[in-house]
Homo-oligomer: A and B are copies of this chain.
Amino acid sequence: CARMFTVYFPFRSQIGINVTQIRLPKQCTEDQVIEELLKLNDDQRVHGVYLHLPPAFLTSRVLNTLKPEKDVEGISDVNVGRLIRGDFSRGFVPPVANAVLDMLVKDDGPVEGKNVLLVGGKRPLQLILQCLIEKSGMATLRSNRNRNHLQRQNVVRSCSRWLQDQHYRPWRLHPLKLQPLTPVPSDLEISRAQVAKPVDQLATEIGLLPEELESYGRNKAKVRLSLLDRLHSQPDGKYVLVAGITPTPLGEGKSTVTVGLVQALSAHLKLNSFACLRQPSQGPTFGVKGGAAGGGYAQVIPMEEFNLHLTGDIHAITAANNLVAAAIDARILHEATQSDKALFKRLVPSVNGVRKFSPIQISRLRRLGINKTDPESLTSQEISNFVRLDLDPKKITWQRVVDTNDRFLRKITIGQASTEKGQIRETGFDIAVASEIMAILALADSLEDMKNRLARMVVGTSHSGLPVTAEDLGVSGALAVLMKDAIKPTLMQTLEGTPVFVHAGPFANIAHGNSSVLADKLALKLVGRDGFVVTEAGFGADIGMEKFFNIKCRASGLRPNVVVLVATVRALKMHGGGPHVSRHGSANLSLVAGGCQSNLKKQIQIAQQFGVPVVVALNVFKTDTQAEIDLVCQIARECGAFDALPCNHWAQGGRGSVALAQAVKQAASKPSNFQFLYHSEMPIVEKIRTIAQRVYGADDIDLSLEAQTKIDYYNQQGYGSLPICMAKTHLSLSHMPDKKGAPTGFVLPIRDVRASVGAGFIYPLVGTMSTMPGLPTRPCFYDIDLDPATEEITGLF
């Protein structure tokens, strides 16, 4: 085989294998093939071989030459005949590709860098390669796939490039210049005055590969999770949480501190850094609050895109959530109007005379304790158990959602059309971000984990008291399909051109209020050992930070290095006894000191209970006096903060937060002694009590009868080891919004307890939580407009 030559199609797969193709010339002899196979048998660089040869070579001699451990799962001999007949697009290619992947995964040794050789004809092997590429989640083949005959030297070059690509790439970030103006213009004016870098340029600068990026227009892109595999051996960067003291109703600027801090770290201290932010609900954008992209010279741009559809994740959640709801009510109707036999006939239909369970139905049978797979073998009792979810309409906990502030949907009656045959019931809509699916998106650490969580979601209880899950409804596979793109974090940038992930935005009371685990994980790999990931927790530290530690870190396995605690003179005055809502107070050192000694001190102590150093960031307003600023920083240090600094990112961008960035860098170099506040195996009541006493400062808790009954039920159902997600007001450390400072001597009432089994937490209700905002008399949309000639948006803020 003097003319035998090798064509390489090197590519990166999710599990990091190399696939190489060897082509045999047409005029080859059997002996030459065997000789080639013997070489492959002995070649330690070759971990698997897939044979595709003309029929003449498929002799037992040839087939038996290849060592079994190198044979790709017996596919060679079994299917090769079909392949020869050109039958390779009939669902045949995926099994081959699967077998290749399976073989590598099953093997004990490390997977990365393994080589599989595909030997044989060009067209089928190309198809298999393409399929492998698709399966491994890659966008494109790295080598030039349009050329049919690659020169060996090109190939060698592309191979070595490919090997380099496997490794971490140092950043070559080109920050955007800022020239802040005084007075500070509106957020939208600032956002629009800066021209964002094309997102693919930003991606290249921070070491992403083209095939890891899915652009959505020019300014935003989803990042593929395959990045985690590529960089799995790369050490994580430092993990910084931004939390806040108990805020005024106006908010104290955690988002702007987060953005300002990464601008300072990346653009000014030249340290790789990433901000991880929550995606805001679109409801408030058109209601009262406006957007959530940061503000002033610490913003994510373009802020319009951040605040509107983004890459459609919340829309996907809405679609998935409402598919579950539709499935629930349709199922109740069908069960109410059909016999067991009719239901069974329809649920397990006869296709060409054969009834077969779908995989999702087999899962339900397993949970019912029925270990059968042949539909004909079920007893009539088993059939009844299988077909009847027997949902109690009064005990359905699943609500529908819209991403609109639509208060009239808070409580509604559905099913009133005659077609629904009187199956009416009361229910309601929540805002989309309150969906359990949003909490799952934020906590999942892989596609598989998300799919499993979606399947476990409990939507209600049967008349006999059994939980009914999304999988019981047969809908969980479809949910995973609807959510498959939403699970990829969205890359955007700050005003200074530094990278930001926007991903997930669960409610901060009935859920945990933190951005996604996956965005943090991707960012920690991308920044590298000496880099920083700054992520934000919702509400005050008593809620957002506590849930970040006890729920999010428990789910992710990540350990934080620093807490940045955001305070404002305005909020501190309130805690010191000043008015509760005041935009511009006059200087008052004693109120400020009072606030520091109460709320700030307590919030610092909460962080310290978790063993993480605290840097206090005083978000400076132009009305603050130097004496006030100095006082806050001084007391904060006395109360145990590692450091405390004023920051001026709003007026100055990253330059205004350089001192904060330096303090964070120093704090992160200290060893962190992170520990959870409670073990997950502690009884539910004890977990609630621990949080109430050690975080909120309560004397004890007071469980209602309803709460106690629910806890007993959850224990009985095996949910007892889930962590706790308190649904408490964020306006006080206690349950009483009016009690500012650091209240003591109170007993925390637990009105009710609920569970998000898929997301994986129990949430006790301390008071009433609204899960659907309303529109005021004059919503912000009165000012929002679009210039059709320029496509320019006005009125967003």
Taking Cβ atoms with an 8 Å cutoff, the residues of A that contact B are 14, 86-87, 89-91, 93-94, 98, 101, 127, 130, 134-137, 139-140, 179, 181, 185-186, 189-190, 192-195, 198, 214-218, 222, 282, 286, 304, 308-309, 312, 315-316, 318-319, 322-323, 325-327, 329-330, 333-334, 338, 343, 346-347, 349, 358-361, 400, 402-417, 419-420, 423, 426, 428, 446-448, 451, 474-475, 477-478, 480-482, 484-485, 774-779, 781-786, 788-796
Known: A198-B140, A781-B474. A786 touches B413 (CB 8 A): no
Chain B residues, Cβ within 8 Å of A135: 789-792
Q: Report how far A52 CA is from B521 CA in the complex, Å.
A: 48
20 A-B pairs with CB atoms under 8 Å apart are A94-B192, A94-B792, A134-B192, A134-B195, A135-B790, A215-B217, A286-B478, A318-B318, A326-B407, A326-B775, A338-B777, A407-B419, A409-B414, A411-B415, A412-B412, A412-B414, A447-B788, A448-B788, A448-B789, A477-B795
Chain B residues, Cβ within 8 Å of A791: 135, 137, 447, 484
Chain B residues, Cβ within 8 Å of A781: 323, 327, 474-475, 477-478
Verify B329–A481 contact, CB threshold 8 A. no
| Copies of this subunit | 2
Contacts A215-B216, A412-B414 known; list 5 others, CB within 8 Å. Answer: A91-B185, A359-B785, A416-B426, A451-B786, A477-B783
Verify B326–A405 contact, CB threshold 8 A. yes
The 9 closest A-B pairs by CB, nearest first: A477-B785, A89-B193, A315-B315, A448-B788, A478-B781, A326-B406, A411-B417, A410-B417, A330-B775
Known: A216-B217, A478-B781. A91 touches B309 (CB 8 A): no
- Across the interface, A481 reaches (CB within 8 A) one of B181, B414, B784, namely B784
Q: Report how far A94 CA is from B791 CA in the complex, Å.
A: 12
- What's the minimum C-beta distance from A574 to chain B, rounded to whole angstroms? 25
- What's the minimum C-beta distance from A365 to chain B, rounded to whole angstroms? 14
Verify B286–A323 contact, CB threshold 8 A. yes
Verify B282–A319 contact, CB threshold 8 A. yes
- Across the interface, A416 reaches (CB within 8 A) one of B87, B413, B474, namely B413
Q: Quick one: closest B residue to A475, CB to CB? A: B781
Verify B404–A793 contact, CB threshold 8 A. no
Chain B residues, Cβ within 8 Å of A198: 139-140
Known: A137-B791, A358-B783, A419-B774. A329 touches B408 (CB 8 A): yes
Verify B89–A179 contact, CB threshold 8 A. yes
- What's the minimum C-beta distance from A183 to chain B, rounded to whole angstroms? 9
Verify A410–B419 contact, CB threshold 8 A. yes
Chain B residues, Cβ within 8 Å of A776: 330, 334, 346
Q: Quick one: closest B residue to A415, CB to CB? A: B408
Chain B residues, Cβ within 8 Å of A343: 777
Verify B782–A360 contact, CB threshold 8 A. yes
Chain B residues, Cβ within 8 Å of A415: 408, 411-412
Known: A140-B218, A214-B218. A404 touches B309 (CB 8 A): no
Chain B residues, Cβ within 8 Å of A402: 318, 322, 400, 402
Q: Report how far A480 CA is from B304 CA in the complex, Å.
A: 13
Verify B360–A775 contact, CB threshold 8 A. no
Q: Report how far A318 CA is from B321 CA in the complex, Å.
A: 15
Q: Quick one: closest B residue to A774, CB to CB? A: B330
Verify A330–B477 contact, CB threshold 8 A. no
Chain B residues, Cβ within 8 Å of A315: 309, 312, 315, 318-319
Q: Quick one: closest B residue to A188, CB to CB? A: B91
Chain B residues, Cβ within 8 Å of A478: 286, 781, 784-785
Chain B residues, Cβ within 8 Å of A216: 214-217
Verify B358–A309 contact, CB threshold 8 A. no
Q: Report how far A325 CA is from B447 CA in the complex, Å.
A: 35
- What's the minimum C-beta distance from A266 to chain B, rounded to whole angstroms? 19
**Most chain B CB neighbours (cut-off 10 Å) among A304, A308, A358, A779:** A779
